[in-house]
Structure 1
Amino acid sequence: MRISTGQIYETSAANYQRNYAKYVKTGEEVSSENKLNTASDNPVGAARVLQLAQQNAMLEQYANNITIVNNNTANTETAMTSIITALQRASELVISSGNGGQTDSDRLANSQELVQLQSQIMGLMNSQDANGRYLFSGSDSAQPPYIRNSDGTYSYQGDQNGVSLEVGDGLVLNSITTGWEAFEQAVNTTRTSATLTRPAVDDGKINLSSGSVSSTSTYNASYVAGQPYTLSFVDGPQMLITDNAGNDVTADASTAGKFDYASSASQGFIFRGVDMTLNVNLSATERASADAAETALQNRTYQLTSTPSSISATRSPGNTSSATITQAAVGTTATEQALYNNAFPTGGAILKFTNSGYELYASPVSNGNPPVATGSGFGPQINAAGARFTVSGTPQQGDQFIIESGTHQTKNILNTLTDIITALDTKVDNDGVGLQKLQASLSSALGNLASGREQLATAISASGARQKAAIDQGVTNDMIKGNNVTESETFTKSDGVEAATRLTLQQNMLQASQQVFIQASKLNLFSQI
């Protein structure tokens, strides 16, 4: 086979160019220490490196979200811990004020300090982060969570919605603590009353406290269903307690109705989850015998009951019909009241009408959450979770009504402090019965302060658990990120020694091919002339 001079030239030139290209590429690898400069260098490796880079970018976002969770937790925990400290001081002032040795001036000084503590606590509840966002307002962080109303009460203006952040594959954490979670779920222990029904004028011989709920479960299961109760004084003398059906339930009192009629000291007893205090203020003659005491206390009765719950209904402006709810109230039967206390959403509700009836949801309505109550028909009378509604007109499918509730089962600490301040401002010097009533109200308020601290401790624990989960996930994310970097470098990082050796070899090959090319270029007739 004959090979032309041109073919020899072209082959030599092509070989030289290939060797030169390899030499240049290896030179770039040595200088950059990167063996994957273009996708063509290693298509499979390039695809994997891109995938790892994308995952690491997501891990960086997770790291940012974890930082937000940690910062929010640190800020809210600092505020809540400071509030717990302030509430502890408030409790000390309340206990001190209940001391019979204090005067009105002493209690007024304590009241003034409580005013300062209340202002400090409200400021902490309305804490802001470095960007001016309110920490406890929920998802609506632009407005302060707490305001003082014109009537002197304090109310929560935020929402119950958390702010969810993804901190890992499949792991989403709430990044905030809402005021609803931290302050609005504190159990209200002062939601019962003892009202003198006979005689018409209180002569001070008996002082019966309003009571303090010490066991919410017993209160809901037993006390609510039997109210109102009648407490009277009978032979012995001793107390007789009857429920709303006239049944004798005295045995449910921890003292079985017994008390010391000869002592004016506070005598405590528990009735169906409610702690009550009794003071007997008889004269020396009346205390001289059981008969005299019985005569002094006969025809004296009290009504024991819970603070009545209240609800209101507001028509949604987006409703298509003109139907309205003209009346909203808690049912009056024991069954309805027990159902209301146990089932009606404490944070308010949304009453929605369907094509065949109505559904009651906890507010705010979230996708997937079932209704707490359902029913058929459109009125005019409908019942839901122990509440009664009177409907005027015919609601259409999709119509909604916002239901605000006041179950008195919870009470925020600002309003509790207002009650305490008001009580301490009452003058009781030289008024033994007034002092007994003050001491009873302060003792009951201590329960609310304690439940407020417990709720804060629960909120701190919950936020701490979220922070721990975020930190643990951050450790996992860092490990994944490190592994990704290591794997990526197997495709991209060059072995300096191997590359330098290869560069030397390719340089020698390039020089050899260059000599071959030069010799081949002389193989023509003109070079022989």
Structure 2
Amino acid sequence: MRISTSQYFGMNVQTMDDQQSTLASLYQQLSSGVSLATPSDNPVGAAQAVQLSMQGATLSQYADNQNTALAALQSEDGSLSSINNVLTSISTQLVRAGDGSLNDGDRGAIATQLQGLRNQLMGLANGTDGSGNYLYAGYQAATPPFSINASGAVQYNGDSGVQNVQVTGTRNIAIGDTGQAVFLSISPAGSAAVTAGNSANTGTGTIGNVSVTNPTDPTNQHQYTINFTSATTYTITDATTSTTSAPQTFTAGQAISLGGGGQNVTISGAPNAGDAFSVTPAAQSNKDVFANLDSVIAALQTPVSGTGGQANLTNALGTALTQLHNTMNNVTSIQTSVGGREQEVEALQTVTQTNSLQTTSNLADLTQTDLTSAISKYTMTQFSLQAAQQGFSMIQKLSLFDYIGN
């Protein structure tokens, strides 16, 4: 088909206009560094860029949450280490108090030291994090979790709420533990049954720790009382089933079997008729570390007198040491859990950082100018435009009038 001169000129002008428009677009990309300024530049790429931007914002929020969680867990971890140090010092003093060569004044001095350690423990229980929030108050983070009531006993004012932080799309992690869990509870694993002597005992009998021979025996979870009907006979009462055994002959230091035989205990010395001893499962024992400390401090402040005075003190110290062991075991278990959560958050931080870098890279590939490619295209387009202009200029001269003029 024939193309008129006007059509031919129009086609060439349009081609040069397109090339100039392309040059302008490439120049804009080179000057701004952005290859995707408007959705019309690349509709599919624009949709992908929106998704990547949203993903990047989400990952950034998770990174902030992870930093918050790790800081809180590190604060608790440090606090628990200090608590363990105080508990270890208390244990040392309790062992020292059992030295039979000490007098009432010496034991009174130890009681004073224990009172100071109790106050240190109280201070740690009311410890705060870097933001001033109380570590062990649950949801009541602005209120001190522990206080001393009118009777001088320590009471818990926090709640049982555990704060959680979402650290990934599918993972919420606890960033603290309550004062109830740390100071008023024990861990089922590793805790021991608590033995005690009645403070009204008049004999010299002292009870040892429980020895477990069958950990799976369900009667291990029963509470028992050993009552001496005479200096040489005793009965065992199972408080859980309300049953009492027939009188049995007592031999100092000989194992006394409890319940179904899953555990036994020994009593040394010479109990008197009417003396009593108890064995309480760890789960049913007094778990309040402050109350337990108050009890042993009171025992150390009581002058040792009479036939059973030293035996009662020995029993009180033995009970306190077992209770303290259970508390230390509980604190260690919680600290282990905190350490595990710290490691998890640190691992998630690595994953989140990697994902964030990849998302940023993908977004940059979509929206930022590839300078090498853009410069190459700009140069080629520029050469093409110059060639088109030169060609159009030469073709314009192929006119009859130009020949006539020559």
CA 1:427–1:526: 2 relative to 1, 3 Å:
farther
Alpha carbons of structure 1 residues 89 and 14: separation in structure 2 relative to 1, 3 Å: same
1:194–1:211 CA contact under 8 A, matched in 2: no
Does residue 1:207 correspond to 2:204, yes or no?
yes
Q: Structure 1 CA distance, aligned partners of 2:214 and 2:396? A: 104
1:123 pairs with 2:113: no
Aligned residue type for 1:108: G
Aligned to 2:26: 26
What does residue 166 of structure 2 align with? 166
Aligned to 1:322: none
Contact 1:188 1:409 in 2 (8 A): no
Which residue matches 2:269?
A: 279
Residue from 233, 239, 246 that aligns with 1:239? 233
Report the equivalent of 2:386.
511
TM-score where L is the length of structure 2? 0.83
Q: Take 1:524 and 1:213, find their aligned partners in 2: how far apart are those partners?
A: 120
C-alpha contact (below 8 Å) 1:135/1:178 kept by paired residues? yes
The structure with the greater share of residues assigned to strand is 1
Alpha carbon RMSD of aligned pairs, Å?
A: 3.6
Q: CA separation in 2, counterparts of 1:132 and 1:524?
A: 90
Structure 1, residues 467-506: CA drift from partner, whole Å, max 9, x if none? 1111112222222223323333433344323321211111
Aligned residues: 392
Contact 2:69 2:345 in 1 (8 A): yes
Matched with 2:150 is: 150
**Partners of 2:80 and 2:363 in 1: CA distance:** 45
Code of the residue aligned with 1:167 in structure 2: it is V
The correspondence of residues 53-92 of structure 1 with structure 2, limited to 5 A, is 53-92=53-92
Q: Give the superposition deviation at 1:128.
A: 0.8
TM-score scaled by length of structure 1: 0.65
Match of 1:449 in 2: 324
Please name the residue that 2:51 is paired with: 51
Offset at 1:78? 0.9
**Identity across the alignment (%):** 25
Map 1:326-365 onto structure 2 (within 5 A): none
Preserved contact between residue 191 and residue 408 of structure 1 (Cα < 8 Å): no
Contact kept, 8 Å, 1:416 with 1:448, in 2: the verdict is yes
Q: CA deviation at 1:432?
A: 5.1
CA spacing shift, 1:414–1:517, aligned 2, 3 Å: farther
Q: Taking structure 1 as reference, are residues 525 and 511 closer, same or farther at Cα in structure 2, changes over 3 Å only?
A: same
1:195–1:302: 8 Å Cα contact kept in structure 2? no
AA paired with 1:222? T
Which piece of structure 1 moves more, 219-228 or 477-486? 219-228
Question: How much does 1:411 deviate?
Answer: 1.7
- Distance in 2 between the 1:277 and 1:305 partners? 11
1:419 pairs with one of 295, 317, 321: 295
Partner of 1:175: 175
Q: CA deviation at 1:303?
A: 5.0
Structure 1 or 2: more helix by fraction: 2
CA contact (8 A) 2:235 2:246 kept: yes
Seen in structure 2, the aligned counterparts of structure 1 residues 88 and 269 have a Cα distance that, compared at 3 Å, is farther
Match of 1:258 in 2: 251
CA distance in 2, matches of 1:17, 1:409: 91
Question: Equivalents in 1 of 2:343, 2:374: separation in Å?
Answer: 46
User: Is contact 2:199-2:312 (8 Å) kept?
Assistant: no
Closer/same/farther in 2, CA of residues 170 and 225 from structure 1, 3 Å limit: closer
- Structure 1 segments unaligned to the other structure (5+ residues): 197-201, 251-255, 260-266, 282-296, 308-340, 343-406
- Stretches of structure 2 that go unaligned for 5 or more consecutive residues are none
